Amino acid sequence: MATAKPVLCVGCTVIDFVTINESFPKEDTDRRCRDGFWQRGGNASNVSTVLRLLGADVEFFGMLSQSDGFRVLLQDLERRGIDVQHCPTTDKDPPFSSVIIVQGTGSRTIVHCNKNYPYVTWEDFSKIDLNRYGWVHFEARNANETIKMIRSVQEHNRTHNEHITISLDFETLYEQNLPMCALCDYVVFSKELANQQGWRTAQETCKELARRLESKSPCIICPWGSTGAACLDAASNGCSMVAAYSPDRIVDTLGAGDSFMAGFIYATSVMQNNLKDAVSFANRVAGHKITDYGYDHIAELQKYDKLRTG
Ligand code: FRU
């Protein structure tokens, strides 16, 4: 298997407080949950976790906090070998999410509390030596700063021999974040955002997004739950559907999208898969993620693959 330079994941890390419930709670009731746990969350933070579990070298770049509550998140990043050496810090309390998981369906309902927590800036980003990385992954947020960061990677690519791949996780604020897409190699567009646009299928989403980006279209990927995921190849303009990996049980869907993203990056950068195969592997990682709570069990995929490939 090819070795790849580390992946840099730019975005948020938050605390997820998760309760496991028999059913979705009724408003204004007081009830006990079946179980619960808390864990480090946030899109880019979860992508980093899953990439690490799959065996990639990862650095996370996001705002860290000096508050007491954040210490456990730092310990978790360290324990997993996720490099945070370039992250700036603040003394503000970290963002957190209250997550309700319903047993049986594995559905996750997230209420996120950001409290105007500061986000990393282009100035912070410009201090990093990009030569270290083979791939830079961005969350589509804080458009003004993120666009400048993406442009820095493009500028690096223009002036160096090696191409750093740029990916974007596009889940919110369609109008504000749309200008980032044309600057990237890969855009993963969420089903929820597609529904907000009135796009009814994964393939329709890829085609409609490409139409809006006109000639500068990246490869577009749209995961669509148990239906699978669509991908549109920028080179051929061909759009195909890749079947989902159907797990034997659904336990916890929190972070399934982030696991898909990490699976895609890993398959493309480390396994050197083509677009469709990488999407298929991403489906497999997301499908396996939802069979258990948290993320640690994703490491099993690595072991099976090692056994399979000898
Ligand atoms: C899952 C997740 C959670 C976090 C929330 C932030 O995709 O990253 O870990 O609480 O989304 O929106």
- How many domains, in total, are found in the chain? 1
pLDDT tens sequence across 94-107? 999 999 999 989 99
Range in 44-48, 126-130, 232-236, 264-268 with the lowest mean pLDDT: 232-236
How confident is the model at residue 48, as a pLDDT? Answer: 98
Q: Mean pLDDT throughout 267-283?
A: 97
Domain membership of residue 2 (yes or no) is no
| Chain mean pLDDT for the chain | 95
pLDDT band at 185 (very low <50, low <70, confident <90, very high): very high
pLDDT of 308 over the 70 cut: no
Domain membership of residue 96 (yes or no) is yes
Domain membership of residue 77 (yes or no) is yes
Residue 253 alpha carbon to ligand 1 centre in Å = 11
Tell the residue nearest (CA) to atom 6 of ligand 1. Answer: 42
Helix 256-269 × helix 43-54 angle, to 10°: 50
Residue 142 alpha carbon to ligand 1 centre in Å = 16
Tell the residue nearest (CA) to atom 5 of ligand 1. Answer: 42
The pair of structure tokens assigned to 237 is: 């303009």
How confident is the model at residue 305, as a pLDDT? Answer: 63
Q: Give CA–CA dist 238/220, Å, rounded.
A: 11
Tell the residue nearest (CA) to atom 2 of ligand 1. Answer: 42
Domain membership of residue 232 (yes or no) is yes
Ligand 1 atom nearest to 42, measured from its CA: 8
Instruction: Give me the domain span that covers residue 149.
Output: 7-25+34-309
pLDDT tens sequence across 58-99? 999 999 999 998 999 999 999 999 999 999 999 999 999 999
pLDDT of 39 over the 50 cut: yes
pLDDT band at 4 (very low <50, low <70, confident <90, very high): confident
Range in 1-10, 137-146, 206-215 with the lowest mean pLDDT: 1-10
24-29 long-range contacts (CB < 8 A, ≥24 apart) are 24/100, 24/102, 24/107, 24/109, 25/100
Q: Is the pTM of this model over 0.85?
A: yes
pLDDT tens sequence across 91-137? 999 999 999 999 989 999 999 999 899 999 999 999 999 999 999 99
Q: In what order do the strands lie in the sheet with 96-102?
A: 35-41, 14-21, 96-102, 108-113
Domain membership of residue 1 (yes or no) is no
pLDDT of 216 over the 80 cut: no
Give the CATH number of the domain where residue 131 resides: 3.40.1190.20
Residue 307 alpha carbon to ligand 1 centre in Å = 32
How confident is the model at residue 115, as a pLDDT? Answer: 86
Domain membership of residue 82 (yes or no) is yes
Residue 226 alpha carbon to ligand 1 centre in Å = 20
Residue list, ligand 1 pocket, CB within 6 Å: 14, 16, 41-43, 46, 97, 110, 112, 254-255, 257-258
Q: Mean pLDDT throughout 203-226?
A: 93
Please identify which residue in the block is written with the tokens 């051929």. 236
Could you write out the DSSP letters of every residue in 7-68? EEEES--EEEEEEEESSPPPTT-----SEEEEEEE-HHHHHHHHHHHHT--EEEES-EE-SG
Domain membership of residue 196 (yes or no) is yes
For residue 226, CA distances in Å to 85, 208, 279 come to 38, 21, 14
Q: Which of 97, 98, 107, 111 for a ligand 1 pocket mutation test, highest count of atoms within 8 Å of Cβ? A: 97
Residues 6 or more apart in contact with residue 243 via CB below 8 angstroms: 228, 280, 283
